[in-house]
């Protein structure tokens, strides 16, 4: 050992010192150049915290601004673009100018998601539509488009109602037989009542029930069978989704941003991770990482079962065995069988299922949670909507139908306004992140005021992070009026939204451009069917007069109760039965 030490140590020390010096010099150059000499420096933005001797903060101000934005700069977001500094001198632009946003999202090959986000998507859902880029994305989307055609969506409506009826029956059972204080079965997800109220109601935690409902819906409409989450016959998928999105640790983590030191270390770690194969993520330390991977393993295993089962059926009975199957995966397989050389691989097919499970489950459940929460706080709007739905049901019955049709739901103008308004104020995904692959000029709808005068276009340098804040753009007073921060469905009956960007109603909730949400019409029909069923039977009221909910982002934006953050994401409403014969 001594001999080895004598041989290696003398040349090793200078080498290590030289490498360390080069790395520190490169880091210093990167921080100084990005902080003081970037072309983005002329774009206005919140001042970065300064370290000793006037050096800029290594952690920047972007993370802190996302958690606790100052009113001044929150308002400035709607003036086109503002600049933030990230860790280790990285530059980030928050872009809200409609022309710039349209350009960035339309030219998705020039402004893809950052490699770090794409790698995380690959770990979570595999090589599905969210992961694919360029030609692979176009090929996958072309094969998937027929599954979301309007004609096929009409055929899925009975599946939406079927799953919602089970939730309705379960809630009726809970309201009529409230759990006692000794009840420990979390499947009911209702805190015990001291005694039933005069109106016969129960306290229902929507954050536990809505994901179960939408998972059952995506099972029936997406794959042709039920996961039985509402009835409680199977809890594996519920456990997986709770592990991903609903745990207390996730709630706590979004309330307090990481320390500057932790943020710098995270930035370095992510940079290293991006240079490693996706499979090596399994060797990362930490309980949270292992819980995430376990949950995703379960989802991927179930996805594989679906594909294998349907393919075995085709191998045994031929393509005709798919017959008139109406679920999305059957339609996808049928489309894929006729795609020739462009057909999706088994890995890509499995990725589509995992993508449908994640993108099609929690986004819809969160919109339902927020919608019912707003209706509970606005009883006049709730009563108006219930009357509209009941009138439509009476007309359907008079025509010999026992349920609302697709056309019935689409004709309910106030229901449509309520859904639009909730999607505007509470988009499940609060923002999108892109990165520039080259130095370029992004067009603006109006000149941007900077410290060096006005800019006719936005100068974007290579590898700059671009943040498109959906929630902020959806609240732009220039588009939605001075009351843009208020939940007021009537604005949509008055023709709101002109001048906005987005694939749906001039709002950014479903994004825009070639990577806009492929299943947004599926989600809209699903949400309307659920609301029409539940509001016919139930009345929704706040838990009490003092409870305050506020949104926090943990992958998606979820509700927390002020003062009860340690209990995790939740939205509890008092749900009671209404007289189905009364107006």
CA distances from 417 to 411, 488, 535 (A): 11, 9, 15
Q: Which residue has the tokens 């932790």?
A: 262
**Separation between Cα atoms, residue 382 and residue 377, nearest integer Å:** 9
Could you give the angle at which helices 413-425 and 346-377 cross, rounded to 10 degrees? 100
**Separation between Cα atoms, residue 558 and residue 358, nearest integer Å:** 15
Q: Strand 431-435's sheet: what is its strand order?
A: 81-85, 91-95, 465-469, 431-435
CA distances from 421 to 43, 375, 461, 553 (A): 32, 11, 36, 19
Contact 242, 258 (CB under 8 A): no
Could you give the angle at which helices 346-377 and 115-125 cross, rounded to 10 degrees? 100
Contact 246, 223 (CB under 8 A): no
Q: If you count them, how many residues does the chain have? A: 583
Q: Is 517 annotated as a binding residue?
A: yes
H/E stretch holding 493: helix 490-493
Contacts 24+ apart (CB under 8 A), 46-53: 46/70, 46/73, 46/82, 46/84, 48/85
Burial class (CB in 10 A: 0-12, 13-18, 19+), 264: middle
User: What is the 3-class SS of 114-176, one letter each residue?
Assistant: CHHHHHHHHHHHCCCCCCCCHHHHHHHHHHHHHHHCHHHHHHHHHHHHHHHHHHHHHHHHHHH
**Separation between Cα atoms, residue 280 and residue 422, nearest integer Å:** 40
| Those residues with Cβ within 8 angstroms of residue 83's Cβ, 6 or more apart along the chain or in another chain | 40, 41, 43, 44, 45, 91, 92, 93, 94
Q: Name the token pair of 329.
A: 């995966």
Quickly count helices (H) and strands (E) in the chain.
21, 11
Instruction: Classify 89 in phi/psi space as left (phi over 0), alpha (psi -120 to 50) or beta.
Output: left
Instruction: Summarize the annotated binding site as residue ranges.
Output: 517
Instruction: Summarize the annotated binding site for heme as residue ranges.
Output: 517
């Amino acid at each position: 050992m001594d001999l080895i030490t004598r041989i290696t140590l003398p040349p090793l020390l200078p080498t290590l010192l030289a490498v360390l010096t080069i790395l520190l010099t490169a880091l210093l150059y990167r921080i100084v150049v990005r902080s003081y000499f970037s072309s983005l420096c002329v774009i206005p933005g919140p001042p970065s915290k300064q370290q000793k001797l006037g050096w800029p903060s290594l952690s920047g101000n972007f993370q802190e601004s996302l958690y606790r934005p100052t009113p001044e700069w929150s308002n400035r977001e709607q003036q086109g673009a503002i600049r933030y500094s990230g860790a280790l001198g990285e530059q980030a632009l928050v872009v809200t100018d409609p022309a710039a946003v349209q350009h960035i999202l339309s030219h998705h090959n020039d402004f893809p998601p950052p490699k770090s986000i794409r790698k995380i998507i690959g770990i979570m859902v595999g090589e599905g539509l969210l992961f694919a880029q360029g030609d692979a994305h176009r090929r996958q989307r072309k094969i998937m488009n027929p599954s979301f055609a309007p004609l096929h969506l009409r055929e899925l409506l009975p599946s939406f109602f079927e799953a919602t009826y089970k939730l309705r029956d379960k809630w009726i059972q809970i309201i009529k037989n409230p759990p006692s204080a000794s009840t420990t079965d979390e499947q009911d997800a209702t805190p015990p009542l001291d005694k039933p109220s005069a109106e016969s109601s129960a306290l229902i935690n929507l954050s536990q029930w809505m994901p179960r409902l939408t998972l059952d819906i995506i099972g029936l409409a997406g794959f042709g069978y039920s996961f039985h989450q509402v009835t409680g016959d199977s809890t594996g998928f519920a456990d997986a989704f709770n592990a991903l999105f609903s745990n207390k640790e996730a709630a706590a983590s979004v309330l307090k941003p990481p320390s500057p030191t932790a943020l710098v270390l995270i930035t370095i770690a992510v940079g290293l991770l991006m240079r490693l194969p996706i499979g090596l993520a399994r060797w990362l330390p930490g309980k949270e990482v292992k819980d995430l991977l376990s949950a995703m393993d379960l989802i991927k295993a179930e996805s594989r079962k679906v594909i294998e089962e349907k393919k075995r059926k085709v191998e045994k009975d031929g393509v005709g065995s798919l017959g008139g199957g109406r679920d999305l995966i059957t339609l996808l397989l049928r489309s894929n069988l006729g795609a020739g050389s462009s057909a999706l691989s088994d890995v890509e097919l499995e990725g589509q299922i995992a993508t449908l499970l994640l993108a099609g489950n929690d986004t819809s459940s969160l919109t339902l949670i927020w919608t019912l929460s707003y209706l509970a706080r606005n009883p006049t709007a709730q009563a108006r909507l219930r009357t509209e739905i009941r009138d439509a049901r009476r007309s359907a019955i008079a025509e010999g139908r026992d349920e609302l049709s697709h056309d019935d739901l689409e004709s309910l103008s106030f229901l449509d306004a309520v859904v639009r308004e909730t999607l505007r104020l509470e988009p499940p995904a609060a923002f999108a992140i892109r990165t520039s692959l080259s130095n370029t000029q992004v067009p603006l709808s109006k000149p941007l005021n900077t410290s060096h005068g006005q800019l006719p276009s936005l100068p974007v340098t290579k590898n700059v992070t671009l943040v498109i804040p959906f929630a902020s753009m959806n609240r732009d007073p220039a588009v939605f009026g001075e009351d843009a921060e208020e939940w007021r469905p009537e604005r949509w009956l008055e023709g709101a939204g002109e001048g906005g960007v987005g694939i749906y109603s001039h709002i950014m909730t479903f994004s825009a451009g070639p990577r806009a949400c492929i299943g947004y019409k599926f989600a809209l029909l699903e949400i309307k069917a659920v609301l029409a069923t539940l509001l016919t039977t139930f009345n929704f009221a706040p838990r009490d007069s003092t409870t305050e909910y506020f949104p926090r982002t943990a992958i998606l934006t979820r509700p927390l109760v002020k003062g009860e953050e340690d209990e995790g994401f939740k939205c509890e409403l008092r749900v009671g039965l209404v007289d189905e014969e009364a107006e």
